[in-house]
A and B are shown apart, each in its own frame.
Chain A
């Protein structure tokens, strides 16, 4: 097997396992967090994950001699190929940091359905534009995702 193909297979395998584990956590963690002990365990594990992500990202940004190979540069480069990362992050920003306490989506149960439809649409649109040599500006995806997160899925 070629090295590039092998790396792609490994990447997809890791992504699949990570998403499966994330979905498993999403199903069980809401129950765990209702107990004090469970809440602290989730809190500590969450902070460890985020801190590790930030620390390793920082190390990579200084320690890697390969040009354009830092975590941030790879993420920026990904916006040439996909709308997924800016969209996903900004939807969560809208969900977590909307302006009104106790906000509920005016769309009710249709909110998450519309969110899924828009997510599918924005990813497909990004892919179609990429094949035509164009892309949607990352800042526009962030703005749309932030507004969509607030309207369809506020916490």
Chain B
């Protein structure tokens, strides 16, 4: 079931639709719309920024044969640390920072933090 062909077909089939749906949810032209307002003003945006950037760092880190934690922080500690950081960002986003006070800089910072964390603690390697 999970052959290379299946994974390729699955990825190219779902990704464009998922991105368009996310874009409409994030950007939706209907200001005053409950869902769009919730996405823009609540903690969802910085948390999603963190998750998206974490995956971008995971896939598109700088070095092909990079080891998790530079070879110092190995399995399972790398998963425990970035899982804990994700939980922390989620708690900060949804519970600690008051709804409505989140501005653009917080998701922007989360992009850099998420990318660095994904690249350092969870880099995917190229199979030789």
Contacts and interface: CB of A to CB of B under 8 A. Distances in A.
Interface of A: 7, 10-11, 14-15, 17-19, 21-23, 25-26, 29-30, 33-34, 36, 39-40, 42-43, 45-46, 49-50, 52-53, 56, 59-60, 63-64, 66-77, 79-80, 85-86, 88-90, 92-93, 95-101, 103, 137-139, 141-142, 146, 155
Contacts of B26: 96, 155
Given A68-B126, A99-B105, 10 more contacts: A25-B17, A33-B35, A39-B35, A42-B25, A50-B22, A71-B10, A76-B64, A76-B125, A97-B110, A98-B108
A155 B126 contact: no
Given A29-B24, A42-B25, A74-B4, A19 B60 contact: no
A96 to B, nearest CB: 5
B59 interface: yes
Interface string B1-12: 011110111111
Given A40-B35, A99-B108, A29 B20 contact: yes
Contacts, number: 197
A26 B20 contact: yes
17 contacts: A14-B9, A14-B12, A15-B16, A30-B28, A34-B29, A68-B127, A72-B58, A72-B124, A73-B126, A86-B56, A95-B23, A96-B26, A97-B45, A98-B108, A99-B108, A137-B62, A139-B62
* Minimum-distance CB pairs A-B, first 3: A68-B127, A46-B21, A34-B30
A85 B8 CA distance: 13
Nearest to B122: A72
Interface string B91-103: 0000000000001
A39 B126 contact: no
A46 B22 contact: yes
Given A14-B9, A39-B33, A29 B56 contact: no
Interface residues of B, number: 56
Contacts of A90: 56, 60
A19 B127 CA distance: 29
Contacts of B56: 86, 89-90, 93, 142
A17 B9 CA distance: 11
B124 A76 contact: yes
B16 A22 contact: yes
Given A26-B24, A50-B18, A155-B27, A11 B126 contact: no
B89 to A, nearest CB: 13
Given A93-B53, A139-B62, A46 B16 contact: no
